[in-house]
């Protein structure tokens, strides 16, 4: 059976959404021993591993250990879900075409950190989240699915983050499901999705629903 390995660093709510969607998760790995998400995975009977980056001399050594552990599970897909480490080119190359990430903005806008604060500062009227394949350029890989929400006049970074997060939990399981069902094809730098009549759209635009 096909499976995924999920990498987390903290809360793990996207990991939780993927587990609750019934997707086949072989293991959850964290670089942070205190990641809250580890506990949830354990309560679901999912194997967990901690590979603490602070115990390695450099990024190369950490990434090599991480890849070695991931590969023991032979996953079809590696899912970054709030994994707060920049990955080396060697790591990204090793998982080319089978490494995905979720980013809390409508890429290519607002790559990097503090996306909700920056969206409010820029006065954008639409914000959202993106699931994309990972390439060595941070937050720039081919886009699989996005969800867009309106920015409200009284939004704060926290209220905006909460509404975006709700959408993250919808689109990430969808993207993983598409991948595992063989519905995603990379054509140059774009993702083509083989849709079936009952498949969902690649853009969610849920209006002002919470
Ligand atoms: C999410 O907002 C995700 O988009 C970003 O980090 C956050 C992780 O949240 N990459 P969680 O750990 O999945 O709750």
Q: Which atom of ligand 1 is nearest to the CA of 12?
A: 12
Pocket flag, ligand 1, residue 81 (CB < 6 Å): yes
Tell me the best of 9, 12, 13, 169 to mutate to test the pocket of ligand 1, counting ligand atoms within 8 Å of each CB and taking the most.
13
Q: How confident is the model at residue 209 (pLDDT cuts 50, 70, 90)?
A: low
What residues act catalytically?
103
Q: What is the pLDDT of residue 188?
A: 87
pLDDT given for residue 196 in this prediction: 64
Q: Is the pLDDT of residue 15 over 60?
A: yes
Atom 10 of ligand 1, residue of closest alpha carbon: 82
Report d(CA 32, CA 53) in Å as an integer.
8
Kindly report the average pLDDT of the chain as a whole number: 94
* For range 1-13, the mean pLDDT: 97
Q: Which residue has the tokens 């849920």?
A: 206
CB distance 103 to ligand 1 below 6 Å = yes
**Partners of 129 in beta bridges:** 147
Report CA-CA distances (Å) from 21 to 8, 11, 24, 173. 17, 18, 9, 6
pLDDT band at residue 36 under the 50/70/90 scheme: very high
| pLDDT tens string 79-107 | 999 999 999 999 999 999 999 999 999 99
Atom of ligand 1 nearest to the CA of 103: 4
């Amino acid at each position: 059976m096909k499976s995924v390995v999920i990498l987390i660093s903290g809360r793990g709510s996207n990991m939780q959404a993927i587990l609750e969607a019934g997707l086949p998760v072989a293991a959850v790995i964290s670089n942070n021993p205190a990641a809250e998400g580890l506990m949830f995975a354990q309560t679901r009977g999912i194997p967990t591993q901690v590979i603490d980056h602070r115990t390695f001399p450099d990024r190369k050594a950490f990434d090599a250990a991480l890849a070695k552990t991931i590969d023991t599970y032979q996953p079809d897909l590696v899912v970054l879900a709030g994994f707060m480490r920049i990955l080396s080119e060697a790591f990204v190359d090793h998982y080319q075409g089978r490494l995905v990430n979720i980013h809390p903005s409508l890429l290519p806008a607002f790559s990097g950190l503090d996306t909700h604060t920056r969206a409010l500062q820029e006065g954008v009227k639409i914000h959202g989240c993106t699931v994309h394949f990972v390439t060595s350029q941070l937050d720039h890989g081919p886009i699989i699915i996005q969800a867009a929400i309106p920015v409200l006049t009284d939004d704060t970074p926290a209220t905006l983050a909460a509404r975006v997060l709700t959408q993250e939990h919808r689109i990430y399981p969808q993207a993983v499901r598409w991948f595992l069902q063989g519905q995603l094809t990379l054509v140059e730098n774009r993702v083509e999705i083989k849709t079936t009549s009952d498949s969902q759209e690649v853009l969610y635009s849920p209006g002002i629903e919470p």
